[in-house]
């Protein structure tokens, strides 16, 4: 069986460039006679890989010098706790925008550490509230939001304006998909398994002035300052994931950087949204003004047809199209590595399926 079109929300498909390169270097990394998996993270050789990946991350995203790039473990979910443990101490308060399931989980975790103001709750999560609809607390220590909501397929179409209150953003499912101005954020964090590499690596980008807010009870392995001072190696890092992230970043550079990624992603998303809007058979989950470029979500006329859609698509080598277990329907995740051929194949199938079952 050849390569399939994998529409998984994460872990998701990786660029073939990355997989082929990793395969070539699996047994012998550049004449060393060993795999990157086998290297000591303290060795000069591995430190070269680590430092090159940090620099590529800075170059690709345009990360200013007054930000630290941390390669951590525990997924974005660990940062749900780490963020209030580091930042909420300034005023004991924080603003949370609840626009999806993971944003809600982050808010619930933060309630353990201080007073949470729900700046918005957009349930059933079909649209992102406008700036005028946000209820902001001027005394908040930070404003937290999830930039792209994977389950419901919504994307913040604007940067929230919060005055002097630092922005904290979970970018797990949209990082590296388009250019952003990192200097507008206090903290950006993301699990790698959607657009950056394999599961097990978490990237945290934090402004220098926000590194030192952790109380003494914060575990050392969660302390941003400790990790920053030890080059993310207070303990053994997710070394192979860091290596693969470096390859992903190299691939993005060869593709033309984040501006080219954005152009490509908008074209891919347009193909699927056009196919969805072309007939009354499919019901979109997300409102037009809030549609994600990464996760296209829709429903067939009933649940039985949703299941049949997913089954018949799999028979045509289009896999993992079932919606999240909490939302149902169909979800096509089209991260950077999804080629245009994949979305064109899916769009053609959508037309055929609607005609056969409408």
CA distances to 61, 228, 245 from 192, rounded to whole Å, are 15, 19, 8
Q: Are the C-beta atoms of residues 194 and 12 closer than 8 Å to each other?
A: yes
* Three-state SS annotation for 29-41: CCCCCCCHHHCCC
CATH of domain 17-253: 3.40.640.10
Identify the helix (H) or strand (E) that includes residue 264: helix 257-277
- C-alpha Rg value of the chain to the nearest Å: 21
* Residue 232: closest CA among 202, 256, 262: 202
Q: What's the gap between Cα 96 and its chain centre? A: 18
Cβ within 8 Å of residue 74, ≥6 positions away = 202, 222
- pLDDT 10s digit of each residue in the chain, 358 long? 579 999 999 999 999 999 999 999 999 999 999 999 999 999 999 999 999 999 999 999 999 999 999 999 999 999 999 999 999 999 999 999 999 999 999 999 999 999 999 999 999 999 999 999 999 999 999 999 999 999 999 999 999 999 999 999 999 999 999 999 999 999 999 999 999 999 999 999 999 999 999 988 899 999 999 999 999 999 999 999 999 999 999 999 999 999 999 999 999 999 999 999 999 999 999 999 999 999 999 999 999 999 999 999 999 999 999 998 888 899 999 999 999 999 999 999 999 999 999 8
Domain 257-357 belongs to what topology? 3.90.1150
Q: Are the C-beta atoms of residues 262 and 252 closer than 8 Å to each other?
A: no
User: Tell me, what DSSP letter sits at residue 322?
Assistant: B
HSE-up (13 A, CA, CB side) for residue 55: 6
Q: What is the C-alpha to C-alpha distance for residues 243 and 50, in angstroms, rounded to an integer?
A: 7
Q: Where in the chain is the domain with CATH 3.90.1150.10?
A: 257-357
DSSP SS3 for 125: coil
Q: What is the C-alpha to C-alpha distance for residues 87 and 84, in angstroms, rounded to an integer?
A: 5
Q: What is the C-alpha to C-alpha distance for residues 226 and 64, in angstroms, rounded to an integer?
A: 20
* Residue 327: closest CA among 281, 277, 274, 284: 284
Which pairing describes strands 283-284 and 295-299: parallel, antiparallel, or unpaired?
antiparallel
Cross-strand bridge partners of residue 204: 70, 189
Backbone angles phi, psi at 121, to 5 degrees: -135, 105
Q: Where in the chain is the domain with CATH 3.40.640.10?
A: 17-253
Q: What is the C-alpha to C-alpha distance for residues 308 and 306, in angstroms, rounded to an integer?
A: 6
Q: What is the C-alpha to C-alpha distance for residues 46 and 230, in angstroms, rounded to an integer?
A: 15
The dihedral of CA 62, 253, 172, 243: what is its sign? negative
* Residue 62: closest CA among 212, 205, 208, 241: 205
Q: What is the C-alpha to C-alpha distance for residues 289 and 131, in angstroms, rounded to an integer?
A: 13
User: What region, left, alpha or beta, does residue 136 occupy, with left being phi > 0 and alpha being psi -120 to 50 degrees?
Assistant: beta
Q: What is the C-alpha to C-alpha distance for residues 29 and 45, in angstroms, rounded to an integer?
A: 10
Residue 226, classified by CB atoms within 10 Å of its CB into exposed (0-12), middle (13-18) or buried (19+), is: middle
Q: Are the C-beta atoms of residues 345 and 316 closer than 8 Å to each other?
A: yes
Q: What's the gap between Cα 47 and its chain centre? A: 26
């Amino acid at each position: 069986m050849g390569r399939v079109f994998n529409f998984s929300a994460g872990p998701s498909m990786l660029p073939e460039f990355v997989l082929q390169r990793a395969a070539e270097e699996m047994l012998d990394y550049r004449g060393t006679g060993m795999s990157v998996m086998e290297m000591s993270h303290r060795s000069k050789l591995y430190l070269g890989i680590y430092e090159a990946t940090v620099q590529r991350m800075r170059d690709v995203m345009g990360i200013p010098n007054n930000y630290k790039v941390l390669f951590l473990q525990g997924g974005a979910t660990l940062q749900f706790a780490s963020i209030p443990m580091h930042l909420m101490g300034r005023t004991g308060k924080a603003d949370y925008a609840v626009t999806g399931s993971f944003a809600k989980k982050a808010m619930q975790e933060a309630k353990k550490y201080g007073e949470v103001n729900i700046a918005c709750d957009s349930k059933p999560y079909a649209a992102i509230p406008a700036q005028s609809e946000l209820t902001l607390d001027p005394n908040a220590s930070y404003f937290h939001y999830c930039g792209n909501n994977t389950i419901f397929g919504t994307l913040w179409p604007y940067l929230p304006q919060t005055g002097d209150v630092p922005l904290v953003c979970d970018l797990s499912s949209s990082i590296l998909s388009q250019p952003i101005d990192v200097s507008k954020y206090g903290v950006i964090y993301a699990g790698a398994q959607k657009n950056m590499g394999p599961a097990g690596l978490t990237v945290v980008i934090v402004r220098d002035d926000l590194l030192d807010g952790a109380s003494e009870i914060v575990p050392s392995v969660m302390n941003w300052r400790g990790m920053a001072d030890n080059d993310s190696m207070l303990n053994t890092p997710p070394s192979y994931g860091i290596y693969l992230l470096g390859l992903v970043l190299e691939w993005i550079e060869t593709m033309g950087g984040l501006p080219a990624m954005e152009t490509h992603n908008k074209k891919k998303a347009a193909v699927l949204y056009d196919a969805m809007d072309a007939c009354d058979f499919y019901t979109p989950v997300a409102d037009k003004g809030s549609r994600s470029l990464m996760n296209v979500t829709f429903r067939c006329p009933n649940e039985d047809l949703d299941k049949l859609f997913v089954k018949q698509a799999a028979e045509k080598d289009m896999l993992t199209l079932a919606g999240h277990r909490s939302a149902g329907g169909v979800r096509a995740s089209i991260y950077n590595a999804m080629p245009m051929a994949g979305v064109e194949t899916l769009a053609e199938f959508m037309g055929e399926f609607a005609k056969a079952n409408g």
